Amino acid sequence: MRNNKPPYIFEDGNQTRDFIHVKDIAKANLNALEHNNADYQAINIGTGKPITIKALAETLTKLYNKPNLQPHISNEYRKGDIRHCYADTTKAQKLLNFKSSITLEDGLNELANWAKTHGWGAVDLFDKSLRELKERHLA
């Protein structure tokens, strides 16, 4: 989008992911260091709130004020991708007293504002990476 290209979405855009702000990840790690009841356990850290990739792209186009850059839905599948991936945060809440506090929209606003002031020299390597995925039969 910084290079005036629409977001490219694999599959149909309805696959879901769980995005969490890095500050919340840091908070979860600090909680893990401070709570010994979580020692040696695998604990999912996330928001527990899935969002479709298409909805994420649409939100970003609004935040970047680029309504003309509607997401391109490729209907191509990348080898190894999973359809839905989001965290079950039950153990994090119970053992670490952790719950994410930064909303996706707030985090994306922060990212968009940063990119508007610092991302002016962004190099667009998307076409190259897509070509490489296809050459390797991964997309």
Task: Decide if pLDDT at 121 tops 80.
Answer: no
List, for residues 35-70, the tens digit of each pLDDT value.
888 889 999 999 999 999 999 999 999 998 898 999
Q: What is the pTM of this model?
A: 0.86
Break the chain into its structural domains and give their ranges. Answer: 8-135
Q: Any residues with CB less than 8 A from the CB of 2 and at least 6 apart, and which?
A: 64, 115, 119, 120, 122
Percent helix, percent strand, percent coil in the chain, to nearest 5: 45, 5, 50
- What CATH number matches the domain at 8-135, 3.40.50.720, 2.40.30.10, 2.20.25.10, 1.20.1250.20? 3.40.50.720
Of 11, 38, 20, nearest to 106 by C-alpha is 20
Confidence of residue 115 (pLDDT cuts 50, 70, 90): confident
| CA 111 to chain centroid | 11
Give the Cα separation of 43 and 27 in Å (integer).
14
Query: What is the mean predicted confidence (pLDDT) over 1-9?
Result: 89
Instruction: Yes or no: say if 96 and 42 are a contact pair by the CB < 8 Å rule.
Output: no
Give the Cα separation of 14 and 57 in Å (integer).
11
Give the Cα separation of 9 and 85 in Å (integer).
16
Task: Decide if pLDDT at 120 tops 80.
Answer: no
